[in-house]
Structure 1
């Protein structure tokens, strides 16, 4: 029995991380989120807009001119759309729907993991402070790396899963509503494959790491949530770049962004762990 327990402990701590302790903290955080109906409602709101309302409205109203007058940057995007982006056989209305569904809305899907992570991650340490449970957590055997990793993954995983679910819903709506109008299935594309598989987890990890870092020093959840704007700004730059014709969010742009984000994720996590000070948090209680 002793040998088995020792082997189990060595397996759990492989790579310097005790994954049993990490997953225990993650499960605790998920239960806290599940009990908060206000948080659940907030988590559903953002994907509902991007995965349901926007694609349905674009397909149903794409050629009417209503959307171009209500969605900021959309008319500029259509005016600067490079030739050959959509199949040459498409009508003007079909080209509008194709371009908006495939290209214009792609960067907006990166907002979902950022906003979701901002809601869950901001409550990681700040929420622990408000619930008066942070002191007990800080005195557990978890190392700083394990504690930060648990908080980051505990918020990133729900953000990624929720975004993937939103993508599935988006794909179904585009297929059901768009196929009759477009003459067949035209979505998803390779750009979206890179976005969903690579960019969404990388963006979610970066946003969560930054928010967890600020949560250790913030006294309110709103202050911690404001950190997410640092990740939203580059996403808005992609939207503006498309609207002004500077670039198109294609596979090349997506892969370059993924490479940059991978490096940023590693640096951000190492920096957060290095700057994480339990004594400072305890003295601020």
Structure 2
């Protein structure tokens, strides 16, 4: 039986340490800012200039060439269709990259960071069970990454509807697919990435080594972005729903495996 109070105490401790780490806080602001403000603002401001827009956004022309006509609403002009395609489809996978990046920054220091701060021995000798220790470390990274993703989505929604209302003839965002992406896919991707990162962190001896290995976890998300950018794999409601169901099963399996294989004695010996 997992003791909720012990897990929450561990999470609060990790959040206090995270708030004091300026090297982690800065990227948590910069990365969402680029995806949520800079790119969509440029797209909407260049909405009536198709040539400038396809030149500015890398891979956009290939994406538009492969985008099925049925994916776009009828009655839009060419400029409106381009803006809709970018805001609704092209940008969707980037909102799965945000929780992965946040998790990689916070979770990669879970056990290695404790060692570098000289607190690992005290943590491993607490009454926390192995499963509680893993769960506390995972949730301490998942919750901030999901909240930051949701906050980024709210900013993105307000921004695109404010800047795009005149061009698009009113509010046009979000869609049902985005609801699934933000409410289901983002938390599930964050949980999966964090479980794997915590497992890696437990086997690493330095922060640099843990963060270097984390790149392997980011690669599948980057591949997803590349597939979306070329139009080869388009997020729609069906695909997003199937992906969420599959990820839920994978998340449970991965957490059970990571928690089941976690042993604090080798960490004490290694660190």
Matches of 2:165 and 2:214, distance apart in 1: 36
The match for 2:259 among 269, 273, 285 is: 273
The match for 1:57 among 42, 49, 56 is: 42
Deviations 1:99-157 (CA, angstroms, capped at 9, x unpaired): 10000100111000000011110111111010010100000010000000000000000
- Match of 1:107? 93
Which of the two has higher C-alpha Rg?
A: 1
Runs of 4+ displaced beyond 4 Å: none
SS at match of 2:67: coil
Change (3 A) 1:185 1:233: same
The match for 1:96 among 54, 79, 82 is: 82
Contact 2:161/2:173 (8 A) holds in 1? yes
Contact 1:156/1:205 (8 A) holds in 2? yes
Please give the root-mean-square deviation of Cα atoms over the aligned residues, in Å: 1.4
**Residue 10 of structure 2 corresponds to residue 25 of structure 1:** yes
- Match of 2:234? 248
Q: 214-223 or 58-67, which moves further after superposition?
A: 58-67
- Match of 1:191? 177
The match for 2:105 among 115, 119, 135 is: 119
Q: CA deviation at 1:267?
A: 1.3
Number of aligned positions between the proteins: 270
Q: CA deviation at 1:35?
A: 1.0
The match for 2:128 among 134, 142, 146 is: 142
Matches of 1:228 and 1:104, distance apart in 2: 25
Matches of 2:211 and 2:174, distance apart in 1: 31
Q: 252-261 or 141-150, which moves further after superposition?
A: 252-261
Q: CA deviation at 1:172?
A: 0.5
Map residues 221-232 of structure 1 onto 2, 5 A cutoff: 221-232=207-218
- Structure 1 gaps, min length 5: 1-15
- Structure 2 gaps, min length 5: none
